[in-house]
Amino acid sequence: MTAYVIEWLSLLGRWFHFIVGIAWIGASFYFIWLDNHVVEPREPADSKKGVGGELWSVHGGSFYHAQRYRVAPQRLPETLHWFKWEAYSTWLSGMFLLALIYWYGAEVYLIDGSLMALSQPVAIAIGAGVIAGGWIIYDLLCKSPLAKNDRVLGGAVAALIIIAAFGLCQVFSGRGAFIHFGTMLGTIMVANVFFVIIPGQRAMVAATAKGDDPDPRPGITAKQRSVHNTYFTLPVLFVMISNHYAMTYSHEFNWLILVAMSIAGALIRVYFVARHKPPASPLALVIAVLLLAGVAAAIAPRTASTAAGSVPQVTFAEVQNIVQTRCETCHAEQPTHVAFSAAPAGVMLDSAQKILTEAERIYQQTVVLRAMPVGNLTGITDAERAVIAHWYVAGKRK
């Protein structure tokens, strides 16, 4: 019953996380687009009252006229809309899912004994430390003299990200490492909103309300952090879906794949931001595509040899015994593992016919990707993986 309750909490948590994430990212993308499309106001009166740019648009049968002030209006409106709870809700729901799936279920999804023998409390402490430490180091970099040069600062932040990706993949299972990497980036993004962007906006609002000229520096700093956030967005989205693609997180060089995919995502975002103000060089997009193509080629499965006499004879009984011992605890009509109330992905291997039907999936997941058993919960050996490989390559003889 506990596994069933956890499954429902995971479902509802993911759904909510998805909804508020769309709201946050959608608002972020819209304001980036808006900032890059405003033009000088046509009415001299608008310029005199502090308007620095305007934009006309049409949507849903209505016309909209947006104006951006150089600093702040002379008088604040009665209603001023803020965009913050989308970010906070996304982070809170994401941390709920992290705690529920990867911390509560650390033995299943986070700890990989073949990498490092960790207890659940130690694994959780390391994960939490990386998430918090990532923000602290990033924030210090942004407040250091490096921040005077955006490219130098960008290089320093990239180095931090690469170190984090490598370190996490040496400690946690690939899936656990990827999600903690994404959570670290997501935490940086939300902390930027909470500690920098919103306080800067509050300072500007307070000064305007008093009739003072707002200090533009908080706005400049907030803008820098906002730009960082937009480039982190696609890497975070990749991590959110990566648990469906074991070919990435289960690879021997998973950290390098994570870095390459993150860089590709950031470059794609660079290109699409630049497109708002043509002409935009396609170089960033070309590099991103080449990176993705390189990753795809590098991790492509290698075809096993099927030459006569090259494949040892393996009986189906040997394979079925391995599957029963290493896979059936989870992949059965009634799983016996406490973490699962139903067979993951609906894959059941509790009969000879089901094993034969799922032969290709078994081979891909246990031999090619080495993603199963998840976290090697049941301790499958390399010799047992080899038996499955020989059986599959030889034609799945029963």
pLDDT tens string for the chain (398 positions)? Answer: 688 899 899 999 999 999 999 999 999 999 989 988 999 999 999 998 999 999 999 999 999 999 999 888 888 888 999 999 999 999 999 999 999 999 999 998 999 988 999 999 999 999 999 999 999 999 999 999 999 999 999 999 999 999 999 999 999 999 999 999 999 999 999 999 999 999 988 988 888 888 888 888 888 888 899 999 999 999 999 999 999 998 999 999 999 999 999 999 999 999 999 998 888 899 999 999 999 999 999 998 876 554 445 557 888 888 889 988 899 888 988 888 877 878 887 898 888 898 888 888 899 888 888 888 887 878 888 898 988 988 988 876 55
Whether 220 and 145 share a structural domain: yes
What tokens were used for 223?
Answer: 């803008």
Per the listing, tokens 């299943």 go with: 108
Count of alpha carbons within 13 Å of 43, Cβ hemisphere only?
Answer: 9
What are the DSSP E strand ranges found in 6-107? 51-59, 62-69
Q: pTM of this prediction?
A: 0.87
Whether 56 and 104 share a structural domain: no
Provide the β-strand partners of residue 68.
Answer: 53
Contacts for 180-183: CB closer than 8 Å, 24+ residues apart? 180/98, 180/102, 180/127, 180/130, 180/131, 181/239, 181/258, 182/235, 182/236, 182/238, 182/239, 182/240, 182/242, 183/94, 183/95, 183/98, 183/127, 183/131
Contacts for 296-299: CB closer than 8 Å, 24+ residues apart? 298/253, 299/247, 299/248, 299/251, 299/257
Tally of CB atoms within 10 A around 71:
14
Whether 62 and 194 share a structural domain: no
Provide the β-strand partners of residue 55.
Answer: 66
Domain's final residue, options 204, 236, 268: 236
In 3D, which of 378, 370, 247 has the Cα closest to residue 322? 378
Whether 63 and 103 share a structural domain: no
Distance of CA 157 to the CA centre of its chain: 17
> Peptide bond before 373: cis, by omega within 30 degrees of 0?
yes
Instruction: Print the domain residue range for 54.
Output: 39-69
Measured CA distances, 294 to 165, 261, 366 (Å):
19, 10, 24
Say if 339 falls within a structural domain: yes
Provide the β-strand partners of residue 56.
Answer: 65
What are the DSSP E strand ranges found in the chain? 51-59, 62-69
Distance CA 150, CA 52 (A): 24
Distance CA 258, CA 331 (A): 28
Say if 301 falls within a structural domain: no
What tokens were used for 133?
Answer: 């430490």
Tally of CB atoms within 10 A around 77:
7
Whether 99 and 211 share a structural domain: yes
Whether 106 and 51 share a structural domain: no
Q: What local confidence, expressed as pLDDT, does residue 398 receive?
A: 57
Distance CA 180, CA 240 (A): 10
Domain's final residue, options 189, 213, 236: 236
Distance CA 253, CA 166 (A): 9
Say if 216 falls within a structural domain: yes
Say if 74 falls within a structural domain: no
Whether 6 and 142 share a structural domain: yes
Angle, helices 85-97/2-35, rounded to nearest 10 degrees:
150
Q: What local confidence, expressed as pLDDT, does residue 189 receive?
A: 98
Whether 43 and 167 share a structural domain: no
Whether 320 and 195 share a structural domain: no
Distance CA 61, CA 330 (A): 53
**Which phi-psi region, left, alpha or beta, contains residue 245 (left: φ > 0; alpha: ψ -120 to 50)?**
beta
